Amino acid sequence: MHILAIFLGLIDTMPIQANSMRALLANTALISVAIILLSCLGPHTQSAPELDPTQMGGKYADQSNNSTNFTTSGGSGLAVSGEPGYVGDTLTASIIVTNSGNSTGTVSLAIHQISVEEAFQGPQISISPGSTREVSTPFKLTSSGTNYFDWHLIISGDSDNPQLRGNFTVEVIPSQVLNLTIDSVEWTSSGGLHLETSVFLSDGRSREITLEASTGFQGSSKLLQSIQISSDPGRRTVTFELGHPSADVIFLEAIPLGWQPSSNSLNSSQMNVDEPLVNLDSIYVEASFNPEKPIPGSRVIVTISLENMGLYEAQSGSVRVISSSDQQILAQRDVQSVMPDSDLTTDVSLSDWPASDSVGLEIHWQTSGLTSIKYFTIETEKSQEGLDLPFDLLAAGYGLFAGVLAILVGTLVWRAVSTRTPSTSDLNLRETKESAKSISKQEKIEIQCSFCDQRLMVPHDHVGGVRCPACSMEFVVGETEKTPHSVVRSSEDTLNCPECEQALRVKLEDRPVMSRCPVCKTQFMAEAEGV
């Protein structure tokens, strides 16, 4: 009835058009629609029961309860990371899950490998309403070739949903080969144990490896060094410096981290080693004492010589001077290492020499766990009892005898000489001494060389030639009654000999002067030209 009134109202409200035909058609159509609607709604309105509020609440109760609704993103939605995969590798499978419900729920991913019946399940992930999160789980590859897997989502408090499951395959490559070798071992006293090794990895991926070096000694082993490396396919050299361990064998092992090498791998190696021990027969110790015969209570210097004639270095150690009688350490000093085929000298001081006729000493050289010993017996200087004389009686006796013998020999020689030598008076001896003294004091005068500025001392009455020690030229001094000499003049310091034409140097300021040619020995008068 309400619907009919509505339609009649619509008809009344329609505008009346000028064209009566169009108005008639419109009204007819509206009336027809109204009749049809009334015929359809009439029976239902008559038979429709009244709604019970209690029944209404029970009918829509399921729609008001909290629930989850998990879906995955397109297709299977599963992604696998870490490929290409090798036997023994661990890959990760993940899927994106959305919760379109009105309640928070937890989801985990489970994977089952069909061929080996092995299952893997990841951690539970909580997803709130309207949220999307990634759900993943790791799984391991156990065989080469094509590996088949099933997957499904495990939802807490919900039944299994066939839409949240699927399957996938992974192509698996055989495991890589890992080989480890010890290339060389060098053990020296100075440098310690040096180890060179090679790590070989076959073609494939780069791998993380832990290398461990251990020593074995008398049946027991000890880990010395552990290093982690990232090895690319191919060969890589690794060096170890292991110091000075106690060892007779070296062990080396390569441990894969997170992957599995091939069964054909040789990832361990070992080698026997010999520690560079110093032989006791190759080290020697010697000593000298100053003074050689010490006085009791005096200070003595002990010079100790250490010699290494072996093949290995004698490590740094110490030397000791020990009394043999009571094993008391009299002196001690640290010494440095001694290289092969070399020696070392050091001094130690003994401040108080023992009061004994002879003193037994031991020189100990401790090096490389060994002790080389040298024994000495040192005689002590004996002191005189009773009269304390400042000299040695035996030496004094020898000296007295030698003096008497010398006197006797001298007396005999003097007597023999005196019998054959004529006597000489004291007067003659005195006159001879005075004559020599007067000659030595003969008066001299100073002259100048004619050819240089050298000053000479000659007897005051000397007449004749004089040779200059500075220029080796000869010239004449004093007055002579010889025949007149040739005269040579020049206006320069040089002139020529009148006999042999030898060029000579006579200074102008020294002219006139008698000159002598050093070549032909001709004497002539040198004058300045124009004078």
Q: What is the pLDDT of residues 41-90, one digit of tens each?
A: 444 434 333 434 333 333 333 334 568 888 886 555 789 998 889 998 99
229, 214 Cβ separation under 8 angstroms: no
In 68-124 the beta strands, taken as DSSP E runs, fall at 70-72, 78-81, 85-86, 90-99, 105-113, 118-121
111, 151 Cβ separation under 8 angstroms: yes
The span from the CA of 486 to the CA of 501, in Å, is 13
pLDDT at 355: 83
The span from the CA of 479 to the CA of 260, in Å, is 128
Least confident of 73-77, 109-113, 126-130: 73-77
Residue 192: which residues within 8 A CB-CB, separation 6 or more? 241, 242, 243, 244
The span from the CA of 260 to the CA of 144, in Å, is 12
Local structure of 393: helix, strand or coil? helix
112, 118 Cβ separation under 8 angstroms: yes
pLDDT at 27: 53
Q: What is the pLDDT of residues 408-465, one digit of tens each?
A: 887 877 776 555 544 444 444 444 455 545 544 457 788 888 777 788 887 877 777 7
pLDDT at 316: 87
C-alpha 11: how far from chain center: 110
The span from the CA of 268 to the CA of 211, in Å, is 10
Query: Is 0.85 surpassed by the pTM of this model?
Result: no
pLDDT at 54: 35
**Average confidence score pLDDT of the chain:** 79
The pLDDT of 375-386, averaged and rounded, is 75
* Domains in the chain with CATH codes: 70-173 (2.60.40.10), 178-272 (2.60.40.10), 280-379 (2.60.40.150), 444-528 (no CATH)
pLDDT at 476: 74
pLDDT at 391: 55
The pLDDT of 182-191, averaged and rounded, is 85
Q: What are phi and psi of 45, to 5 degrees?
A: -65, -30
pLDDT at 465: 76
pLDDT at 165: 86
pLDDT at 326: 87
Local structure of 90: helix, strand or coil? strand
